[in-house]
Amino acid sequence: MRKTVLVPVRKSYCDAHIAKDGTEVEATASLSLGSHTWDLCLEHDVVFGRYLTDALGVPAEAPATSVVTGQGDADSRGLTHAVEGHVPDSGGLTPTMSVSAQDEPENDDDPGEVEHDEPERPSVMVSGDVPGYLIDEAREAVRNCGYDVVGRADDSTVLIICGEGAERNATKLADARERDLPCMDATVPGRFKSAVRAGEFTGGDPLPEPVKVGRSGLSERERNRLVRSWARENGYKVPDKGRIPMHVRHGYELSHKTTPDGEAVAA
């Protein structure tokens, strides 16, 4: 014989709705502050959760003094704070309460924390093309070793790295000579790569003598652009960046060399 046992189910109603207009809305969460506990519906769970979050913030490690639990959103679930003072009527949506958080707010003027300026990074000038590296790759390798790369020497500059064609940059060479900067000859096989692996660049090599500017008056970048354009028109394969092969440069020079009669010599 089957027995049916009726067990009374106790329903909890939202205290905020009861206090406000006497309506009975089923509660889905509870708010405990000290010795007091309020049953709240989802709406008031969210409202009070957001209020406490705005008033107290979200602690890194929540103490277990008082807990807001329920099925509300992230603003109300798992919020925990110590609250002292008078607890207002729960029927209002913007209650006023005296709050003291467990952790005191950070004091920007705390003499115990002293900010120290970071030491200035040493800088390096790079002149010319480093064999085996594109210009951007070489500069990035220098930066990864703790140096800044500058176009003009200043008080932080400790070295000049000279690659192929460094003698064409008279400005950097003049800066290095004026400041008596040590020079590292990057054209020596393996010199630059060894410095990158060691994480330190050192000088000791003679500084190249600057060459005179050509009659064309073109900058190195403009000249390289013309050489690449000529090379592609004549069937040569050249990279978009980095060093142009010597035989391509030689072919360009021969094709643009003039005879005493003013006629161009074919490459």
pLDDT tens digit string along 210-247?
A: 876 555 556 677 788 889 889 988 888 888 888 888 88
Beta strand 29-33 with 67-69: parallel, antiparallel or unpaired? antiparallel
In contact, 50 and 20? CB cutoff 8 Å: no
CA atoms within 13 A of residue 225's CA, in its CB half-sphere: 5
How confident is the model at residue 115, as a pLDDT? 56
Q: Which of 250, 106, 125 lies closest to 181 in space, CA to CA?
A: 125
User: What are the beta bridge partners of residue 38?
Assistant: 31
pLDDT tens digit string along 65-97?
A: 444 444 444 444 443 343 344 444 444 444 444
Outline where 101-256 has alpha helix (H). Answer: 135-144, 170-178, 191-198, 220-233, 246-255
Q: How far apart are CA 203 and CA 182, in angstroms?
A: 5
How confident is the model at residue 98, as a pLDDT? 42
Domains of the chain: 15-80 (no CATH), 123-198 (3.40.50.10190), 214-267 (4.10.320)
Q: Which two tokens stand for residue 49?
A: 């959760």
- In the predicted model, is pLDDT for residue 124 greater than 80? yes
- In the predicted model, is pLDDT for residue 146 greater than 70? yes
Helix (H, G, I), strand (E, B), or coil: what is residue 36?
A: strand
Q: Which of 163, 204, 199, 164 lies closest to 180 in space, CA to CA?
A: 204
pLDDT-derived band at 6, boundaries 50, 70, 90: low
pLDDT tens digit string along 178-191?
A: 999 999 999 999 99
